[in-house]
Amino acid sequence: VSLLYLFKDDGGGHGHGRGHEHSHGHSHGDMSSRAAIIHVTGDVAQSVGVLLTAALIALYGSWWVSLDALVTIACSIYMLFSTVALLREVLAVLMEAPPPDVDVSEIRRVLSQQPDVSEIRCFHIWALAPGKVT
């Protein structure tokens, strides 16, 4: 099931139950696909590790039993570090934080210098999704 999700096309369009589909110009596919890839690679690594450990135990005896715990710990560490970066990105979008590569004060300065702008009272820049700024 996880592998099928990787090939699902999510172009950002979705329906609202009124018989029509449309796009709002945002895509949940990027972060969702990255999360699915992390999940699938973690599952595959865990499965391969368990199979290799079981084969080593069957062929060479119980000395290899501790390798099972090491494989589990290694896969857990991989998934933890892989998801932390994604979680930070998701939280930044949910908290409507400005994108890290946008200089908010510089944009405000340039806008305030425009001849038709007399005052800027409320100025916000936030990411709707990674790579999409409003």
Per-residue pLDDT band at 10 (split at 50, 70, 90) = very low
Tally DSSP H helices, then E strands, for the chain: 4, 4
Residue 103: CB partners within 8 Å, gap ≥ 6?
none
Helix (H) or strand (E) holding 46: helix 29-60
Per-residue pLDDT at 105 exceeds 70: yes
**To which residue do tokens 């944009």 refer?**
107
Mean pLDDT of 56-80: 90
